[in-house]
């Protein structure tokens, strides 16, 4: 945007006030005016909004360009809605339904809000860090020729000061430093208060050191212009002011001018007499609340002087609840103004009763044209973008050859073959891994496609002719983003790359790999990625006690249950390489389909004999969650239901038992997640008059009504035991319920009851009369 004339500062100040009013009013309306039929508190954060209104006015009506993307601190959501209300992209109706069904969401949501939300926020820390990875994705797209210089932007995070306690932020800046990340503005609303209390003084001194050592510029916006001038004139006052603790400052802001005066008189005596003489109580309070984050001149100047691409942390001093009656009070986080206080605020800014929603109500005719033209100029920048789906031709994914294969090795082969075959999909795949690229079988792909680096990174070992299977040189055409061991970063990287179609108009096909147990380390970030509807393929391998000698610390147990409860993520667990190929093809389709989702593949290093197929009938069932690997007889009394790595045990047991148990079937489950979803969806649909049975109901209805199911998976048995509830059949669940340990597969399968004997015993248990 063009530099603003000085008169715009006045318009920006009016907009700041307007945002503070509209955000407070939106929250007030939801809590005090909208009809409530259950007395449930609606809530909202007037104080957290008030401390950011100036910063956000300066950004959205001055500093942001059309390609810039912003993650807004969750509790300032109403300010973002107010901005879009002024811009004309938010409706009064949505604001009137703030925190109500179908209304503006409490925290900015990409998927549920009608305004363009660049990044959803809510779980503090994650919105901050995703901007860093989005910037990395922007560099990736530029380097690959998918983004013009004119389409590049800056990534802005608006951060609460207490939010800086979240460790994921530091994991992100360490990773960012390795990748020479740029075009970031992180703006801290340093209001010295968290949810519970005022925040610790000691730590804040250190944040700038931490950021600087990661290559950031730190700009501290302590004082507004007026306060700065006053402190410059009174050296003693400045020294005194700067030694106030967070709690003392907040308390004084709350108490107001009289308290400032009494305290200064008591502690500085005659040294401050001239200043006290010049200022009445109200003026004194006004002077000390003129902090950097509330001073439009200071904000505009700071933003205007950071126009290069160096990542910049702005620490803007603010007051929580600025301009509101509970400003500075330590308990104000969820504080709500009462109707009398709201009326006083309304009057103070010249809004007539009954005209509260009018965007520019009460703005004098002198100022109005300036305000209107500023809004007009800012509008173009904030349109909602199309999400860019369906533009990539997706080839069939062939099954790798081999009578014996593990799903993990097959995954590596499939990617290698895809790379060799070339084509648009192969070019759009971007892989990433937190230091387990080699051990998750991505090495061959990386040998082919290279590491992504903005500047050329020679492979020193290769140049020195030291033999190695991994030939990893880096450059700006590379397609693998190597991350340090921080699983939260992996998921944020996948989130950002999985939003590339939305953010940049070019869809990528991100694939991330990690060990299955370490999903838990980044779980909130994974949930965050799914919450925003980012699209990616997550490959978790190895998994389960099938990992044998690696022992209990690396053997995963519960991820299938995590996946069962995770919206936006489809779990597939193949036993055979052909299933895996079909699932990967489906995962790519789901990435590029508006109604799709992300996919989680749980794989293993166990090499098993592949099955012979008579035809391709299994495929549709495998993609829907399961299929009969060995067909049951009509009204069979029992079936073995198995998933993933333990399929050889299930097949062997089936062979052994089939003579004794006529009609015994073997059901291969490929996705408990999909089976469960289909089951509940069919139940819900029946209430709408639809009679279609779900896939799992059709599969299980092949068996007798009182049939017994022996379920088995190298995972928590609850992953499959619920199948008994579908048609009321009996279940003997086998699986892993205790931490694993080292051992051979035979040792462990026997000890944890995942072997043929366990299956045989469980079948007998179900069939023998009690
Ligand atoms: C991961 C996570 N933990 C806890 C919360 C609950 N919570 C919401 S806001 C907040 C304190 C925020 O303080 P600060 O970041 O300083 O924001 P502000 O003062 O601007 O409201 C907490 C603990 C959350 N939203 N996310
Ligand atoms: Mg705070």
Q: What would the pLDDT profile of 361-402 be if each residue is shown by its tens digit?
A: 999 999 999 999 999 999 866 666 778 898 899 999 999 999
Confidence of residue 36 (pLDDT cuts 50, 70, 90): confident
Q: Average pLDDT in the 609-638 region?
A: 97
pLDDT of 3 higher than 60 = no
pLDDT of 4 higher than 80 = no
Point out the ligand 1 atom lying closest to the alpha carbon of residue 194: 13
Lowest mean pLDDT among 204-208, 218-222, 388-392: 204-208
CA of 596 to the centre of ligand 1 (A): 32
189 lines ligand 1 (CB under 6 A): yes
CA 525 centroid distance within chain: 5
Residues ≥6 apart with Cβ < 8 Å to 117? 72, 80, 108, 109, 110
Residue with tokens 């397609």: 479
Pairing of β 665-669 and β 626-630: antiparallel
| Closest to 552 in 3D by CA, of 742, 312, 761, 280 | 742
Q: What are phi and psi of 310, to 5 degrees?
A: -65, 130
Pairing of β 608-609 and β 184-190: unpaired
Selected residue with higher pLDDT from 657 and 688? 657
pLDDT of residue 383: 67
pLDDT of residue 185: 98
First-to-last alpha carbon distance for the chain, in angstroms, is: 80
Selected residue with higher pLDDT from 458 and 750? 750
Highest mean pLDDT among 451-460, 462-471, 730-739: 730-739
Beta bridge partners of 540: 514, 602
Q: Average pLDDT in the 520-528 region?
A: 98
pLDDT of 477 higher than 90 = yes
Point out the ligand 1 atom lying closest to the alpha carbon of residue 161: 16
User: For the chain, what is the mean pLDDT?
Assistant: 95
Question: Probe ligand 1: pick from 48, 195, 201, max atoms within 8 Å of CB?
Answer: 195
Q: Is 105 helix (H, G, I), strand (E, B) or coil?
A: coil
Q: Is 200 helix (H, G, I), strand (E, B) or coil?
A: coil
pLDDT of residue 125: 98
CA of 110 to the centre of ligand 2 (A): 24
pLDDT of residue 199: 84
48 lines ligand 1 (CB under 6 A): yes
pLDDT of 156 higher than 70 = yes
CA of 254 to the centre of ligand 1 (A): 21
Q: Residues 97-112: pLDDT tens digits? A: 999 999 999 999 999 9
Pairing of β 598-602 and β 537-540: parallel
pLDDT of residue 299: 98
Structure tokens at 385: 């973008």
Question: Measured between alpha carbons, how far is 157 from 134 in angstroms, rounded to an integer?
Answer: 11
Provide the residues around ligand 2 (an ion) whose CB is within 5 A. Answer: 160-162, 191, 193
Question: Measured between alpha carbons, how far is 493 from 132 in angstroms, rounded to an integer?
Answer: 9
Question: Measured between alpha carbons, how far is 334 from 460 in angstroms, rounded to an integer?
Answer: 56
CB 160 within 8 A of CB 193: no
CB 724 within 8 A of CB 667: no
Beta bridge partners of 69: 155
Residues ≥6 apart with Cβ < 8 Å to 229? none
Q: What are phi and psi of 201, to 5 degrees?
A: -75, -40
Helix boundaries (H) for 367-513: 368-379, 407-421, 424-428, 443-449, 460-463, 487-497, 500-504
Beta bridge partners of 184: 155
**Strands of 717-763, DSSP E:** 730-734
72 lines ligand 1 (CB under 6 A): no
Question: Measured between alpha carbons, how far is 615 from 612 in angstroms, rounded to an integer?
Answer: 9
DSSP 701: T
CB 536 within 8 A of CB 588: no
Q: What are phi and psi of 540, to 5 degrees?
A: -110, 115
CB 720 within 8 A of CB 697: no
**Maximum pairwise Cα distance, the chain:** 103
Q: Average pLDDT in the 446-471 region?
A: 90
pLDDT of 244 higher than 90 = yes
> Judging by beta carbons within 10 Å of its beta carbon (0-12, 13-18, 19+), is residue 231 exposed, middle or buried?
buried
Q: In what order do the strands lie in the sheet with 665-669?
A: 626-630, 665-669, 636-643, 703-713, 730-734
558 lines ligand 1 (CB under 6 A): no
Structure tokens at 688: 């709408």
pTM here is: 0.96
Q: If you compute the radius of gyration of the chain from its CA atoms, what whole number of angstroms results? A: 30
CA of 51 to the centre of ligand 2 (A): 9
CB 721 within 8 A of CB 675: no
Helix boundaries (H) for 349-405: 368-379
Structure tokens at 58: 């300066």
CA 496 centroid distance within chain: 8
CA of 195 to the centre of ligand 1 (A): 6
Point out the ligand 1 atom lying closest to the alpha carbon of residue 75: 21
Ligand nearest the Cα of residue 192 is 2
Q: In what order do the strands lie in the sheet with 184-190?
A: 69-71, 155-160, 184-190, 312-317, 217-221
Q: Average pLDDT in the 658-667 region?
A: 95
Question: Measured between alpha carbons, how far is 642 from 667 in angstroms, rounded to an integer?
Answer: 6
17 lines ligand 1 (CB under 6 A): no
Q: Is 159 helix (H, G, I), strand (E, B) or coil?
A: strand
Q: Average pLDDT in the 683-712 region?
A: 94
């Amino acid at each position: 945007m063009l530099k603003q004339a000085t008169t715009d500062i006045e318009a920006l100040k009016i907009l700041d006030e307007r945002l503070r009013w509209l955000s407070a009013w939106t929250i007030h309306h939801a809590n005090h005016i909208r009809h409530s039929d259950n007395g449930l508190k609606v809530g909202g954060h007037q104080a957290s909004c008030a401390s950011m209104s100036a910063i956000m006015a300066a950004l959205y009506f001055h500093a942001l360009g059309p390609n810039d993307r912003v993650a807004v601190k969750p509790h300032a959501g109403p300010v973002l809605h107010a901005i879009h209300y002024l811009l004309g992209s938010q409706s009064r109706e949505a604001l009137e339904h703030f925190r109500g069904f179908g209304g503006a969401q409490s925290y900015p949501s990409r998927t549920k809000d009608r305004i363009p939300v660049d990044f959803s926020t809510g779980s503090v820390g994650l919105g901050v860090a995703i901007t860093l990875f989005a910037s990395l994705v922007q560099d990736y797209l530029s380097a690959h020729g998918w983004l013009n210089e004119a389409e590049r932007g800056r990534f802005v995070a608006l951060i609460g000061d207490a939010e800086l306690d979240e460790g994921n932020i530091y994991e992100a800046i360490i990773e960012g430093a390795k990748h020479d990340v740029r075009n970031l503005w992180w703006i801290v609303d340093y209001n010295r208060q968290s949810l519970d209390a005022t925040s610790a003084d000691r730590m804040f001194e250190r944040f700038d050191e931490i950021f600087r050592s990661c290559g950031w510029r730190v700009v501290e916006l302590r004082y507004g212009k007026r306060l700065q001038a006053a402190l410059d004139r009174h050296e003693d006052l400045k020294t005194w002011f700067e030694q106030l603790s967070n709690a003392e400052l907040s308390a004084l802001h709350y108490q107001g001018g009289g308290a400032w005066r009494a305290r200064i008189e008591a502690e500085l005596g005659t040294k401050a007499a001239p200043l006290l003489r010049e200022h009445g109580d109200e003026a004194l309070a006004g002077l000390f609340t003129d902090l950097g984050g509330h001073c439009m001149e200071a904000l505009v100047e700071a933003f205007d002087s950071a126009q290069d691409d160096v990542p910049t942390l702005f620490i803007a001093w603010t007051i929580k609840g600025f301009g509101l009656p509970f400003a500075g009070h330590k308990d104000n986080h969820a504080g709500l103004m009462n109707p009398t206080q709201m009326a006083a605020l309304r009057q103070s800014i010249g809004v007539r009763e009954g005209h509260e929603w009018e965007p520019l109500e009460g703005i004098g005719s002198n100022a109005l044209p300036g305000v209107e033209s500023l809004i007009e100029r800012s509008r173009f920048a904030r349109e909602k973008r199309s999400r860019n789906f369906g533009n990539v031709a997706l080839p069939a994914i062939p099954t790798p050859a081999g009578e014996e294969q593990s799903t993990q090795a097959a995954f590596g082969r499939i990617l290698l073959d895809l790379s060799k075959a070339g084509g648009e999909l192969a070019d759009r795949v971007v892989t990433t891994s937190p230091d387990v690229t080699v051990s998750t079988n991505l090495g061959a792909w990386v040998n082919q496609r290279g590491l992504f680096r903005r500047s050329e990174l020679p492979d020193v070992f290769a140049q020195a002719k030291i033999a190695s299977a991994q030939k990893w040189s880096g450059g700006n055409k590379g397609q693998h983003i190597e991350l340090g061991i921080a699983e939260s970063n992996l998921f944020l990287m996948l989130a950002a790359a999985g939003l590339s179609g939305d953010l940049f108009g070019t869809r990528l096909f991100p694939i991330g790999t990690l060990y299955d147990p370490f999903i838990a380390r980044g779980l909130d970030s994974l949930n965050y990625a799914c919450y925003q509807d980012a699209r990616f393929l997550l490959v978790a391998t190895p998994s389960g006690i099938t990992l044998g000698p690696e022992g209990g610390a690396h053997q995963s147990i519960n991820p299938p249950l995590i996946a069962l409860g995770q919206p936006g993520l489809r779990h597939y667990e193949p036993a055979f390489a052909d299933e895996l190929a079909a699932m990967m093809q489906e995962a790519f389709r789901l990435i590029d389909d508006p109604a799709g989702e992300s996919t989680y593949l749980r794989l293993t290093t166990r090499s098993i004999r592949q099955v012979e197929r008579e035809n391709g009938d299994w495929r549709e069932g495998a993609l829907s969650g399961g299929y009969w690997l060995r067909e049951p007889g009509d009204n069979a009394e029992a079936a073995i239901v198995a998933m993933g790595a333990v399929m050889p045990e299930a097949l062997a047991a089936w062979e052994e038992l089939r003579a004794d148990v006529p009609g015994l079937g073997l059901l291969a489950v490929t996705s408990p997640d999909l089976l469960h979803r289909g089951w509940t969806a069919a139940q819900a649909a029946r209430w709408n008059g639809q009679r279609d049975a779900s896939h799992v109901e059709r599969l299980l209805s092949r068996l007798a009504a009182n049939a017994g199911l022996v379920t088995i998976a190298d995972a928590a048995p609850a992953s499959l035991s619920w199948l008994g509830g579908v048609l009321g059949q009996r279940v003997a669940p086998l699986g892993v319920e205790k931490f694993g340990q080292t051992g051979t597969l035979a040792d462990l399968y026997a000890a944890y009851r995942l072997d043929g004997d366990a299956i045989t015993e469980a079948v007998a248990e179900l069939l023998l009369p009690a």
